[in-house]
C-alpha cells in the first residue's frame, strides 16, 4: 500500500497519514506499507514483486470534502510524464508511471487507486474536519479487503485477577529476557478477540519485549513447573477485569487471540470489553503477582 501526498500540506497528507495509521495498528506478514510522500523513487521498488498494489492519495475535483473514490488502475488513461517530478508533487499517477518506467515487465498489474476529496490544502495545517475521519474508514477497508486472511494462530489467557498467561514456548519465543512494557491502544474493526462481536472495534493490548536485565519494565514470572509464565497487567489496562462499578469499562477474562507483529516487534492481544451494568469488585487495584 502506497500513501501518496505532501505531509506538510493539509489534506494532501491523507495518504501518508493513512500509512502511519496502518503501521500503528500493526502490519501482518505479506503486507508492505510505503510512504509515498518521502520515499521518492523507492516507491517503485517497494511495488516490485507485489501481487496487489493499492495507491492512496488526496484529490481535488470540487466534490464534498471527504468523498471517497475507488478506481481500478486498468481503467485509467495514460500516466503523466516524469520530467520535473519531485517529492513535493508526487501523486498516485506518478507512482504508476515511475513503476512502469523502472520495473518494466515486473511492474504490478493488479492496482487499485483509492482517493479522498481534499477540503483544505494550506501548508502547515492538519487534516480538515471532514477528511480526518476518512482515515479510519479507509484503514478498516484496507484491512478487511486487502490484508491476507488471518491464520488460526496463537492464544493467551487473561484472568479475572488481571494477569496475562502465556505458555513457556510463547514466553521464550517472544520475551526471551522475561521483561516487557505494555500499553493499551485503540483497536480497529479487524481486531476482534475470540468470541467478540463481528465488526466491533476492541481495545488492543500491545506487549513490547525488553532486552537486557537492566531495562526494568514488567516481569514475566514462572507460574508452574512447566515453565508457563504470567504478567500482572491490571494497572496497565486502565479498567477492571471481570466486574466493575456501573458505567465503567470491563475487560472480559478468557482466551484471547494473540498476534506477533513482526514489523514492529510487538505482541498484539485483542481484548473483549463492555460497559458494566452492575457493581462488583474489579482487579484494577491489585498490586500482587499473577496467579
Kindly state the DSSP code that residue 139 receives in the 8-state scheme: H
pLDDT band with cut points at 50, 70 and 90 for residue 92: low
Mean pLDDT, rounded, for 132-156: 87
pLDDT band with cut points at 50, 70 and 90 for residue 215: low
Mean pLDDT, rounded, for 59-69: 93
Of the ranges 12-26, 77-91, 140-154, 227-241, which one carries the lowest mean pLDDT score? 77-91
End-to-end CA distance of the chain: 43
Look at residue 130 in the predicted model and tell me its pLDDT: 96
Q: Where are the alpha helices (DSSP H) in 151-240?
A: 168-174, 234-237
Look at residue 235 in the predicted model and tell me its pLDDT: 74
Chain centre to alpha carbon of residue 261 = 9
Is 125 a residue whose pLDDT tops 60? yes
Mean pLDDT computed over every residue of the chain: 78
Of the ranges 65-69, 115-119, 234-238, 254-258, which one carries the lowest mean pLDDT score? 234-238
Is 110 a residue whose pLDDT tops 70? yes
Note the pTM of the prediction, 2 decimals. Answer: 0.55
- Burial classification of residue 29, based on how many CB atoms lie within 10 Å of its CB (0-12 exposed, 13-18 middle, 19 or more buried): exposed
pLDDT band with cut points at 50, 70 and 90 for residue 290: very low
Tell me which CATH code domain 2-145 carries. 3.40.50.1450
Q: Which residue has the higher pLDDT, 79 or 153?
A: 153
Look at residue 201 in the predicted model and tell me its pLDDT: 65
CB atoms under 10 Å from CB of 83, counted, come to 5
Q: Where are the alpha helices (DSSP H) in the chain?
A: 14-25, 42-47, 92-103, 132-145, 168-174, 234-237
Q: Could you tell me the residue ranges of all domains in the chain?
A: 2-145, 154-275
Q: Which residue has the higher pLDDT, 103 or 218?
A: 218
Q: Could you tell me which residues come within 8 angstroms of residue 83 by beta carbon, excluding any fewer than 6 positions away?
A: none
Is 104 a residue whose pLDDT tops 90? no
Look at residue 132 in the predicted model and tell me its pLDDT: 96
pLDDT band with cut points at 50, 70 and 90 for residue 284: very low
Q: How far apart are CA 277 and CA 280, in angstroms?
A: 10
Mean pLDDT, rounded, for 98-108: 63
pLDDT, one tens digit per residue, over 12-26 is 999 999 999 998 888
Nearest-10 crossing angle of helices 14-25, 132-145: 50
Look at residue 51 in the predicted model and tell me its pLDDT: 82
Amino acid at each position: 500500500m502506497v500513501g501518496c501526498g505532501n505531509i506538510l500540506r493539509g489534506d494532501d497528507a491523507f495518504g501518508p497519514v493513512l500509512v502511519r495509521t496502518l503501521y500503528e495498528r500493526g502490519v501482518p506478514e505479506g503486507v508492505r506499507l510505503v510512504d509515498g510522500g518521502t520515499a521518492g523513487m523507492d516507491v517503485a521498488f517497494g511495488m516490485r514483486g507485489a501481487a496487489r498494489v493499492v495507491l492512496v492519495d488526496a484529490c481535488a475535483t470540487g466534490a464534498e470534502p471527504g468523498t471517497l473514490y475507488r478506481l481500478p488502475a486498468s481503467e485509467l488513461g495514460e500516466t503523466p510524464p516524469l520530467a520535473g517530478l519531485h517529492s513535493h508533487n508526487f501523486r498516485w499517477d506518478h507512482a504508476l508511471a515511475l513503476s512502469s518506467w523502472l520495473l518494466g515487465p515486473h511492474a504490478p498489474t493488479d492496482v487499485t487507486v483509492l482517493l479522498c476529496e481534499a477540503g483544505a490544502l494550506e501548508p502547515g495545517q492538519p487534516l480538515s474536519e471532514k477528511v480526518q475521519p476518512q482515515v479510519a474508514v479507509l484503514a478498516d477497508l484496507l484491512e478487511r479487503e486487502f490484508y491476507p486472511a488471518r491464520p488460526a494462530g496463537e492464544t493467551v489467557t487473561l484472568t479475572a485477577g488481571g494477569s496475562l498467561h502465556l505458555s513457556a514456548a510463547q514466553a521464550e519465543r517472544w520475551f526471551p529476557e522475561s521483561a516487557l512494557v505494555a500499553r493499551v491502544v485503540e483497536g480497529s474493526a479487524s481486531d476482534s478477540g475470540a468470541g467478540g462481536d463481528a465488526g466491533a472495534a476492541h481495545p488492543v493490548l500491545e506487549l513490547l519485549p525488553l532486552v537486557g536485565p537492566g531495562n526494568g519494565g514488567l516481569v514475566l514470572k514462572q507460574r508452574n513447573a512447566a515453565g508457563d509464565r504470567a504478567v500482572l497487567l491490571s494497572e496497565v489496562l486502565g479498567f477492571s477485569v471481570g466486574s466493575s462499578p456501573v458505567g465503567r469499562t470491563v475487560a472480559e477474562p478468557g482466551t484471547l487471540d494473540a498476534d506477533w507483529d513482526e514489523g514492529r516487534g510487538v505482541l498484539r492481544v485483542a481484548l473483549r470489553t463492555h460497559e458494566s451494568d452492575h457493581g462488583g469488585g474489579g482487579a484494577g487495584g491489585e498490586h500482587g503477582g499473577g496467579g
